[in-house]
Amino acid sequence: MPIVLKRIYDEDKPTGDYRILIDRVWPRGISKEQAYLNDWMKELTPNASLRKWFNHVPEKFAEFAERYIKELQKSESATEKKRELQEKAQHQQVVLLYGAKDKEHNHAVILKEWLENS
């Protein structure tokens, strides 16, 4: 089963997927009932200083990706969550939910690739 990305603000009512919020901050205007989450994995989000440095500037995306991947690789809890999600993805679709407006230049894109590789 694949791991898919969805913007939480564009979501319809979910159907049986394993849904994880992968933002450090709760999305504005979304209630916990509306989110239909199975988990909120803050361990997989970029640290605050890296997030602020990037500030969703597309020109910084390549460097942001490098820094974020290094951060994930150094984190034992991120590695543990990676194994957990890879296992879940073998049995059901895993949906990574994020709030960023830019669907191409955000940490979710990088995280999905990291989870699917290796």
User: pLDDT, tens digit, for every residue of 80-96?
Assistant: 999 999 999 999 999 99
Q: How far is residue 76's CA from residue 92's CA, in Å, rounded to a whole number?
A: 24
Q: What is the pLDDT confidence band of residue 71, given thresholds at 50, 70 and 90? A: very high
Using an 8 Å Cβ cutoff, are 96 and 22 in contact? yes
CA separation for the pair 49, 106 (Å, rounded):
15
> What's residue 34's pLDDT?
84
> What pLDDT, on a 0 to 100 scale, did the predictor assign at position 1?
60
Q: What is the pLDDT of residue 118?
A: 65
CB 36 within 8 A of CB 19: yes
Residue 117: pLDDT over 90: no
CA atoms 54, 99, 36, 26: torsion sign: positive
Residue 63 has pLDDT above 90, yes or no: yes
Q: What is the pLDDT of residues 16-62, one digit of tens each?
A: 789 999 999 999 999 988 888 999 999 999 999 999 999 999 999 99
pLDDT at 76 > cutoff 70: yes
Read off the pLDDT band of 103 (50, 70, 90).
very high
3-state secondary structure of 90: coil
